[in-house]
Amino acid sequence: MNRLQSYIIAGILFVLAAGTLSHFLYGWTGNNFIIGLFTPVNESVWEHMKLIFFPMLFYSIFASANLKADYPYIASSLCFSILIGTLLIPVLFYAYTYILGKNFLVLDIIIFALSTALAFFTAYKLTISCRFRFHSILLYCLTGILLILFILFTYQPPEMEIFTGFTNAMALT
């Protein structure tokens, strides 16, 4: 197993653990305002997208700093993968709840794990291929925009279904 593969596997494990813990962290801290910017503050699909976004962003900064010399395009590959993993959560959640008519906690957990694994698999493949060497700035900007939207919409969400906290156990984890 090479160094990149080790970082990818460690990243998957880190995001799964940190994302799972972050699901509960806001409540554990007595609804701390700052913690809420980075962790789910309600049971909405939007807030549950943070389960991947922030842990993967933090891990990506760490991995990029340590691997950039050997893999110069790892940061842009990881940015793309953060976007993919984060967006897979609502896509898969709404697809299966539309088909089945309701949600199931076990499927929500599988979506989180699958989205994380697919995001890191994508990062691995793109890092090896160097496909994003000309798209780095765009990917950094898109990731930054999503980060800003998470912060803005945490306490002032638009009135749309994705931002609504489900009260009938329609939570992602």
The confidence band for 166, taking pLDDT boundaries of 50, 70 and 90, is: low
Distance of CA 133 to the CA centre of its chain: 22
79 vs 130: CA distance, rounded Å: 13
Would the pTM of this model clear 0.75, i.e. be above it? yes
Give the separation between CA 74 and CA 63, rounded to whole angstroms: 8
Mean pLDDT of 45-74: 97
Mean pLDDT of the chain: 93
d(CA 85, CA 149) in angstroms, rounded, equals 16
Q: Is the pLDDT score of 172 beyond 50? A: no
d(CA 67, CA 85): 21
Q: In the prediction, which pLDDT does 130 show? A: 79
Q: Give the residue carrying structure tokens 């993919």.
A: 84
Residue 2 scores a pLDDT above 90: yes
Summarize pLDDT for 69-102 with one digit per residue, the tens. 999 999 999 999 999 999 999 999 999 999 999 9
142 three-state secondary structure: helix
Q: Mean pLDDT, to the nearest integer, of 115-140? A: 90
